[in-house]
């Protein structure tokens, strides 16, 4: 049976997570596309050779027979795009943007996966400790039922006191059964996120109680969110990509200039085609300048659509920033309140435990009612549960803040 700390759980999840692997494949595809985009500027070189044979034949209506003939040719050509209105360098910029977006997408997937592991890890530990809290409450109620029964047999308390204590014991046992099911579900969820068999046996290494996070400045964390949030970075890249597409559409209003150099030769004898290339082959240089005078409104339509999409992306970026600001402020506020509540819950727990001891002593002496004792027992259970929830909820909220700030 393995015992996993948080770091090892994250490592296992990164090795088994299919989303991470798919993101890596997207990066590899973007790298290949980046290489292919160089074709818009690199020269094109081609070579060809061909042969044709014609057998003897007599044309219709003629008595003259045409003899056999053959024809052989070879050529080598190089063509180069010189200027196309900026289309080629914008295509290169767009492919680089796609590669950067894929790389960032892979990191964003890792951040989301790490957050999922942390949330499940801390949730499972919280359920383990809550089960332990309820187990102690069951044991306490069982001992208390036994004490009250003994006093009832001695006619020191009424049967109503015994029944009330048994009701509390029954409630605690029901809570224990429910918490067992919750614990089983959280364990299966963590195993699924880690990519391991849900039936495998493993334990988790519990963090110490003093591992709660220090409280940073709210503006400081927001600056990190603005600079490093995966969603914001991705949207900024999409805005930049759309601006590049506007430039590509604008290139349609410029002329294009290209040049090609050819070298070719032909002969009715195959050996002569390649035996004396220097004398038999012809050189040619072509310079081509073209400008589309009218494209049926296609250029203006494409330009308008590109500009509209660029503005849409900018508005979506503004909206996303506002939404993340609200989400961040809510998460930070809950985390700060939880962080500051932990010492309060620790004090409440100690006070509740001391109050239970006093209530037990007073009840044994007949100075307190059964309701006073039951209330003290419930206060202890609630204080213990609240402290456990606060400690792990604080860690979960801190993990969410780290994910918002783009930190693994």
What's the average model confidence in pLDDT over 35-49?
Answer: 88
Element holding 200 (H helix, E strand): none
pLDDT of 276 higher than 90: no
The pLDDT assigned to 218 comes to 82
**Which of 144-153, 172-181, 209-218, 301-310 bottoms out in mean pLDDT, i.e. has the lowest?**
209-218
- d(CA 173, CA 165) in angstroms, rounded, equals 13
pTM score > 0.75 for this model?
Answer: yes
Query: Between residues 52 and 124, which one has the greater pLDDT?
Result: 124
Contacts (Cβ under 8 Å, ≥6 apart) of 314: 239
pLDDT confidence band for 210 (50 / 70 / 90): low
- Residue 86, token pair as written in the block: 């900026």
pLDDT of 367 higher than 90: no
DSSP state letter for 363: H
Q: Which long-range contacts (CB under 8 A, 24 or more apart) does 209-214 make?
A: 209/391, 211/395, 212/339, 212/342, 212/391, 212/394, 212/395, 213/339, 213/394, 213/395, 213/398
pLDDT tens by residue, 253-264: 999 999 999 988
pLDDT tens by residue, 302-338: 999 999 999 999 999 999 999 999 999 999 999 999 9
Give the phi and the psi of residue 174 in degrees, each rounded to 5: -65, -40
List the strands of the sheet with 69-83, edge to edge.
44-54, 69-83, 256-267, 282-290
- d(CA 249, CA 295) in angstroms, rounded, equals 13
Contacts (Cβ under 8 Å, ≥6 apart) of 387: 342, 345, 346, 348, 349
pLDDT tens by residue, 67-112: 677 888 888 999 998 888 888 899 999 999 999 999 999 999 999 9
Q: Is 116 within 8 Å of 396 (Cβ atoms)? A: no
The pLDDT assigned to 213 comes to 58
pLDDT of 205 higher than 70: yes
Q: Is 206 within 8 Å of 125 (Cβ atoms)? A: yes
pLDDT tens by residue, 6-16: 999 999 999 99
Q: Answer positive or negative: Cα dihedral of 188, 194, 197, 202.
A: negative
pLDDT confidence band for 2 (50 / 70 / 90): confident
């Amino acid at each position: 049976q393995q015992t996993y700390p948080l770091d090892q759980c994250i490592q296992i999840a990164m090795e088994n997570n299919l989303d991470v692997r798919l993101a890596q494949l997207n990066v590899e595809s973007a790298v290949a596309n980046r290489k292919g985009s160089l074709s818009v500027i690199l020269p094109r070189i081609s070579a060809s050779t061909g042969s044709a044979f014609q057998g003897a034949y007599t044309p219709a209506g003629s008595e003259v027979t045409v003899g056999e003939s053959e024809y052989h040719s070879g050529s080598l050509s190089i063509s180069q795009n010189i200027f196309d209105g900026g289309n080629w360098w914008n295509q290169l910029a767009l492919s680089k943007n796609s590669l950067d977006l894929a790389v960032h997408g892979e990191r964003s997937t890792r951040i989301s996966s790490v957050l999922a592991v942390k949330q499940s890890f801390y949730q499972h530990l919280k359920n383990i400790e809550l089960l332990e809290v309820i187990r102690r409450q069951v044991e306490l109620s069982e001992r208390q039922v036994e004490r009250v029964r003994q006093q009832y047999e001695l006619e020191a308390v009424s049967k109503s006191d015994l029944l009330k204590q048994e009701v509390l014991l029954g409630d605690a046992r029901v809570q224990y059964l429910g918490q067992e099911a919750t614990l089983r579900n959280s364990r299966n969820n963590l195993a699924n996120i880690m990519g391991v068999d849900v039936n495998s046996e493993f334990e988790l290494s519990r963090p110490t109680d003093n591992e709660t996070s220090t409280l940073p400045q709210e503006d400081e964390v927001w600056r990190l969110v603005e600079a490093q949030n995966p969603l914001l970075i991705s949207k900024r890249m999409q805005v930049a990509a759309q601006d590049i597409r506007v430039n590509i559409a604008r290139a349609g209003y410029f002329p294009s200039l290209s040049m090609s150099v050819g070298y070719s030769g032909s002969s009715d004898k195959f050996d002569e085609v390649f035996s004396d290339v220097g004398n038999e082959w012809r050189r040619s240089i072509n310079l081509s300048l073209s400008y589309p005078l009218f494209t049926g409104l296609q250029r203006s339509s494409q330009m308008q659509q590109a500009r509209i999409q660029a503005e849409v992306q900018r508005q979506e970026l503004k909206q996303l920033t506002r939404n993340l600001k609200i989400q961040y402020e809510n998460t930070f506020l809950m985390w700060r309140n939880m962080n500051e509540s932990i010492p309060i819950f620790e004090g409440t727990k100690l006070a509740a435990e001391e109050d239970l001891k006093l209530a037990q002593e007073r009840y044994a002496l007949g100075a307190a009612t059964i309701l006073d004792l039951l209330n003290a027992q419930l206060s202890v259970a609630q204080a213990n549960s609240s402290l456990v929830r606060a400690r792990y909820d604080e860690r979960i909220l801190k993990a969410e803040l780290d994910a918002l700030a783009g930190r693994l």
